[in-house]
Structure 1
């Protein structure tokens, strides 16, 4: 069975995330302690106890989600003998790409935590609160052509682009608030439902260029090595292994489209993936995988029981 590990993005955070792993495994506690030390912050305490409004802040949610994902990876390796390179590919949704790079050994855990903290802060600084907006276009008529048409209509009033091509029936647009509002109207005319998202900034659009500039500077000195297995990048929707290419794509990703549907389609077809395993908090990517590649097995590893069952399955050769 050919496996791809998937790493979730912002929105999958929740108070209590990682607590069961920390209670059950010393190796998970080690990951959380390393992240806390790297950030000089009791992030693990915030993850366990909240408050939710602090955990949801971009600068906290991003390293927190990575920490839970890497705790799962370390527990699988140390406690169950399932190394990350038992998989054939890794991929992460937006910030999850950093988790994928850390899991595959391209980035050190402490460096990843610091980069994500900065990424969250830089994204928040890039656009004044209230200027930007994002909206999810959903429904059976929602496809990339409809979303592009809606974004084009919004562009008459400012920046408006497709930010996340998640799967057919779930596409996110981002940009100036007035432009996104116009795009929402157009999307509804075209037969889609449109839901404004409760986000603090318009991610993955040209308004994020100041954040991309900050990340370019930070990433220029970050040690990035060749990953142990290919990383399917958001920007290209193709597997990448060259450290300098990965560095450049992390910068481009800040303003660029998350090409998740295409990434998953490549994995299922060209990559021959027959099992998608979501690693970390939540099950958002598992749901997407089932819609994009219904012929493949899809599962999420959230709890100690999930990890034990998965390890037994791997050991039996299933």
Structure 2
């Protein structure tokens, strides 16, 4: 009798904000740990020190935070593959920085090439933020249209402000000047929203990052992208792209454009047919968003080796072991 085909799954990878001190410790005894020296060689950073011993204050630095998160996501990906938990994957996506791990998972980038890009991206974003300071905040409780109108009004009043991430129903991130975010916070009650500040090093996914986009494009143009085996749903248009598509342009645009995460999840669960989305990396942020976007789809968070149960993709559905959110 033929084996039952694996249920279609999507692999998703978190972005900046999930970093924490000692985040690599759970993975230290896994076979996947062998990739850590490779990432260190490619980037010129002591990755082992970064993910095991770096204090929380050091991990707030944009470039180092991104390298730490990327490394842990790759560790999770490699371990999940070894245990057969990525069987049935038909597509990938990543939130902001996580898009680079998604390209590795899809076969469009090698781990070493992606690590070089992540290091360059983090440096470029940090430098751009030093040249023009800014900040970000989450508006909770209002729809995208209401937030977009509020942001437009604030910007027209003279304070730079843009929509940065459309994460889930009732959760939109804004980005821009300190004065713009402050004004949006003061006016947010009239659209039924609450503003929550985000501890970040700059106004990411806004025109403030234009210098970073220019610097990163130079590195992207030298990077070889392969055809890949799986499509990656891009942040900038929420559409699936192969490795043959123009990822240097998509990745450059991502720095100054909104992350369309809600739409991207709907692409994964709609046209691409994913019935389970597996989050690989630190934390369970994306699983929480997915539960709000597509409650009919299973969201699995594999954020530690302990969450990974051998036995194929169906093992990832065990609620106690894998942190299922419903």
Tell me the residue number matched to 1:214: 215
Tell me the residue number matched to 2:108: 106
The two structures, once aligned, show a CA RMSD in angstroms of 1.9
Tell me the residue number matched to 2:276: 275
Residue segments in structure 1 that go unaligned for 5+ positions in a row? none
Q: In the alignment, is the contact (CA less than 8 A) between 2:185 and 2:195 conserved in 1?
A: yes
Q: Report how far residue 313 of structure 1 moved.
A: 2.3
Tell me the residue number matched to 1:136: 138
Provide, for residues 201-248 of structure 1, a one-character-per-residue CA deviation record: whole Å limited to 9, x for no partner. Answer: 000001110000011111000111112100000001010014342221
Q: In the alignment, is the contact (CA less than 8 A) between 1:146 and 1:187 conserved in 2?
A: no
Q: In the alignment, is the contact (CA less than 8 A) between 2:206 and 2:255 conserved in 1?
A: yes
Match of 1:37 among 28, 36, 41: 41
Say which structure is richer in helix. 1
In 1, the alpha carbon distance for the partners of 2:251 and 2:309 equals 33
Residue segments in structure 2 that go unaligned for 5+ positions in a row? 1-6, 318-326
Provide, for residues 104-127 of structure 1, a one-character-per-residue CA deviation record: whole Å limited to 9, x for no partner. Answer: 221111121121111111111113
In 2, the alpha carbon distance for the partners of 1:162 and 1:77 equals 36
Give the number of equivalent residue pairs. 310
Q: In the alignment, is the contact (CA less than 8 A) between 2:88 and 2:313 conserved in 1?
A: no
In 1, the alpha carbon distance for the partners of 2:199 and 2:132 equals 11
What aligned pairs does 1:205-284 form with structure 2 within 5 A after superposition? 205-284=206-285
What aligned pairs does 1:114-153 form with structure 2 within 5 A after superposition? 114-128=116-130, 131-139=133-141, 142-153=142-153
Q: In the alignment, is the contact (CA less than 8 A) between 1:135 and 1:180 conserved in 2?
A: yes
Secondary structure of the corresponding residue to residue 182 of structure 2: helix
In 2, the alpha carbon distance for the partners of 1:91 and 1:302 equals 16
Verify: 1:15 aligned to 2:16, yes or no.
no
Q: In the alignment, is the contact (CA less than 8 A) between 1:122 and 1:214 conserved in 2?
A: yes
In 2, the alpha carbon distance for the partners of 1:41 and 1:207 equals 27
Verify: 1:76 aligned to 2:80, yes or no.
yes
